[in-house]
Structure 1
């Protein structure tokens, strides 16, 4: 099993940082000097759970990742493999994850390049393996939800039934935090679902690909992460929260 990071997005709401950097390289250290980024934190998490090979999907401002590649490999003791997304500035992340379809065959822990979270999330997913699950989503069942969150409805014995931002928060079991364990034997089904998703609408999310799998009768499971602090960075308010959280990890 290897690590996989989606780091192709532009993150326009985080300008001026993202004028020159992809969202995954926006500084989250308290001083904002760039000593710690989301990618740093994620690579540290992966290394701590024994994942020393990591694929990073790059697109927008990919040269910044290329420039830091050697330093990141040395700092975290990992080998980075960069996967090119040729439509990063045009299409949404269903296509971005599809670009990594060959990587997924090895089995991966996928982390969004804008999610600051503790290593306990990866540990929870790894501990949940071994019961026939093929895809396991990290789910926050504690946080109070609002409209923007990627909400999930689960059913005992059947796993995920719905995953979308477009539902009443009161109906949701919890929020998908942007971290997934994907076993290698799920790669073909996931790739096919992602392809159908972005062909239907290039602006759809990879979570819509998960929904496509569910609609086809395939099972996607979840693991509750407990009461932990994490944040998805969409704007400057989120970035401020990320800086508060990151210094704790």
Structure 2
């Protein structure tokens, strides 16, 4: 199993940082000097749970990732493989994840490039393996949800809480929790997931990879969840989120 980071997005709401950097390289250290980024935190987490190979999907301002590749490999003791998304500024991330379809064959822990979280999330996902699951989503069942969150409805009759619905477009009160942007994907799910992602972005290039997960569920594929418990994490979409990320990052 290897790590996989989606880091192709532009993150325009984080300008001026993202005038020259992809969102995953926006500084989250308290001083904002760039000593720590979301990518740093994620690579550190991956290394701590024993992942020595990491693929990074790059697109917008990809040269910034290439420039830091050797330093990141040395700092975290991992080998980085950069996968280029040729439509990063045109299409949404269903296509971005599909570009890593060959990587999925290795089995991966997938992390969005804008999620600041502790290593306990990776440990929770790895600890949830072993009962025939093929895809496991990290789920926050504690947070109070709003309209923008990626909401999940699980099946209460199933012991491992199979996903019935995943979308931003539902009433928060109907959701079982929020998908936080980390997924464990076993190698034997790769082909089916790649096909569902292709169907998704061919239907609408602006769809999310979570819509690809829904496509899988609609086909009868079982997607499971692992509750992460009560912990501090944040998805960075805007400057308010970035300020919160800086408060959180210094704790990890």
1:160 and 2:173 are equivalent in the alignment: no
Which consecutive segments of 4 or more residues in structure 1 shift more than 3 A? none
Give the CA deviation at 1:33: 0.1
Name the counterpart of 1:188.
191
Name the counterpart of 2:222.
219
Whole-Å separation in 2 of the counterparts to 1:32 and 1:79: 26
Whole-Å separation in 2 of the counterparts to 1:20 and 1:178: 24
In structure 2, the gaps of 5 or more residues are none
Give the CA deviation at 1:101: 0.3
Instruction: Give the alignment of 1:61-210 within 5 angstroms.
Output: 61-155=61-155, 156-157=157-158, 159-210=162-213
Name the counterpart of 1:57.
57
In structure 1, the gaps of 5 or more residues are none
Whole-Å separation in 1 of the counterparts to 2:62 and 2:218: 34
1:229 and 2:245 are equivalent in the alignment: no
Q: What RMSD, in angstroms, separates the aligned Cα atoms of the two structures?
A: 0.5
Q: TM-score, normalised by structure 1?
A: 1.00
Give the CA deviation at 1:76: 0.2
Give the CA deviation at 1:175: 0.0
Residue-by-residue CA offset, 1:86-144 (whole Å, 9 max, x unaligned): 00000000000000000000000000000000000000000000000000000000000
Whole-Å separation in 2 of the counterparts to 1:197 and 1:85: 16
Specify the SS of the correspondent of 1:219: coil
Name the counterpart of 2:247.
244
Residue-by-residue CA offset, 1:145-175 (whole Å, 9 max, x unaligned): 0000000000032600000000000000000
Q: TM-score, normalised by structure 2?
A: 0.98
Aligned residues: 249
Whole-Å separation in 2 of the counterparts to 1:245 and 1:8: 23
Give the CA deviation at 1:210: 0.1
